[in-house]
Amino acid sequence: MKDTKIGFIGLGNVGSKVAFNILKKKYFTLYVYDLNIKSSEKLVSQGAILCKSLKELVNNVTVFITCLPSPKDVKNVILNCLPFIKNNHLWIEMSTTDEEDMKMLSSFLFKQKAQVLEAPITGGQHKAESGNISILVGGSKKNFKRSFPVLSCIGYKILYCGKIGNASTLKVVTNYLASINLLAIGEALMVSKKYGLDLKTVYNGIKISSGNSFVHETESQVILNGSYDVGFTMDLVCKDVGLFNKLTKKFNIPAKISNLMVRTFKNGEKKLGKRSLSTSIIKLLENDCGENLRSKGFPAALIDSNKKKKAIEVNND
C-alpha cells in the first residue's frame, strides 16, 4: 500500500517540527490537528490541511501519527479516534508513552483490523527540526516497511526493535539515562567551578574524554549559556523518570538511583514549576552552592547545522 495522505496529531515543540519535515516531502498530503489551533498556523501556511476534529483527520488519511505530552493524552486521542478507524489505517505513536497502555490501545485497533507501530523519537528538538533525529520502532516488520517512507522524512537512524512495547520501553530507558547524565553533569561542572577551573576548558576536556556523552555535548552548552533551553519541560522529564521507575517496580528491581531520580525531579517541578525547562534542574544546585555555571561562547539554543541525511535502518545483525 502506498500511503500519500498522512495525519499528524500533536503540534507541540517537537511535533510541529516532525510534521514540517513530512510536509517538505511534496509526495505527501499532510492533515494536522491540535487542540491549540495557533500551533498549526505555520504548517497550514506551508500547505498542511487543518482538521477541525479527529474524525475529519482520520477519515482523510491512511496513516496517522500521534506525538503527545503524556500517556493520558495518547489514550484519550486514540479512544476518540476508534469509531472512525478502518482496516486500511496505520497508527504510528511517536510519544514517550507507557508500554502497557501502548499494548492495550494497539489491541483495540487490531480488533478493527487496523495496524499499529510505535516509533518514539530521540535526539533532541534540534535534530527533530533538521530531520536527523533517531527513531526506535516497534511492531510488525511488514508495518515497519510500510512506514519507512514516512519515517525517512522524519529521521536519520531508524532502529527496528521488534514487537509492540519494545520501542516504548527502550525510549523510556534512554530518557532515564539522559536524565541521570544531566544531574551528574551539573555536579561535575559545579566541582570544576568551585575548584577554579575555566568552564569552557572543562566543557572541552569532558568532550574529548571518557566522560563525554550526547547530553554533555548538548545540554551542557545551554547550562553554560544560562538559557537552559532544550525545548523539554520539567513535567515531561518527571513523566519519563516515573515510567522508568514503574518498570523497576514491575520487575522487582531494587533501583535506588531510579527512586532518587524521581524525588529529585519532583522537587524540581515543585520549586521551579511544571513548565520550567528540564535542564533548569541545575538551577537548584547553583542556588544551593551560591554559584552560577556561566561561560562565554555557548549558544542559547541548540541548532543542528547538518543538512538532512538520507535515512538508514540501523543494522541489528
What integer is the mean pLDDT of 121-144? 97
Give the pLDDT confidence of 171-189 residue by residue, as tens digits: 999 999 999 999 999 999 9
pLDDT tops 70 at residue 159: yes
What integer is the mean pLDDT of 36-64? 97
pLDDT tops 80 at residue 210: yes
Give the pLDDT confidence of 217-262 residue by residue, as tens digits: 999 999 999 999 999 999 999 999 999 999 999 999 999 999 999 9
Question: How many CB atoms neighbour CB 250 within 10 A?
Answer: 10
Residue 1's pLDDT band (cuts 50, 70, 90) = low
Give the pLDDT confidence of 292-302 residue by residue, as tens digits: 999 999 999 99
What integer is the mean pLDDT of 51-72? 97
Give the pLDDT confidence of 190-205 residue by residue, as tens digits: 999 999 999 999 999 9
Yes or no: say if 6 and 64 are a contact pair by the CB < 8 Å rule: yes
Which option is the CATH number for 169-289: 1.10.1040.10, 3.40.50.300, 3.20.20.140, 3.40.50.2300? 1.10.1040.10
Q: Mean pLDDT for the chain?
A: 97
DSSP string across the chain: ----EEEEE--STTHHHHHHHHHHSTTSEEEEE-SSGGGGHHHHHTT-EE-SSHHHHHHH-SEEEE--SSHHHHHHHHHHHGGG--TT-EEEE-S---HHHHHHHHHHHHHTT-EEEE--EES-HHHHHHT-EEEEEEE-HHHHHHHHHHHHHHEEEEEEEESTTHHHHHHHHHHHHHHHHHHHHHHHHHHHHHHT--HHHHHHHHHTSTT--HHHHHHHHHHHHT---SS-BHHHHHHHHHHHHHHHHHTT---HHHHHHHHHHHHHHHHH-TTSBGGGHHHHHHHHHT-----TT--SS----SPPPPPEEPP--
Q: Give CATH for domain 5-164+305-313.
A: 3.40.50.720
Domain ranges of the chain: 5-164+305-313, 169-289
Based on its alpha-carbon atoms, the radius of gyration of the chain, rounded to whole angstroms, reads 20
| The pLDDT value given to residue 32 | 98
Dist. CA 23–CA 191, nearest whole Å: 46
Task: Pick 213 or 26 by higher pLDDT.
Answer: 213
Residue 44's pLDDT band (cuts 50, 70, 90) = very high
Residue 316's pLDDT band (cuts 50, 70, 90) = confident
pLDDT tops 90 at residue 2: no
78, amino acid identity: I
- CB neighbour burial string for 28-50, b if at least 16 within 10 angstroms, e if fewer: bbbbbbbeeeebbeebeeeebbe
Yes or no: say if 23 and 50 are a contact pair by the CB < 8 Å rule: no
Residue 317's pLDDT band (cuts 50, 70, 90) = confident
Yes or no: say if 166 and 159 are a contact pair by the CB < 8 Å rule: no
Phi, then psi, of 303 in degrees rounded to 5:
-130, 130
Integer CA distances (angstroms), 229 to 112, 123, 126, 281, in order: 42, 14, 11, 12
pLDDT tops 80 at residue 102: yes
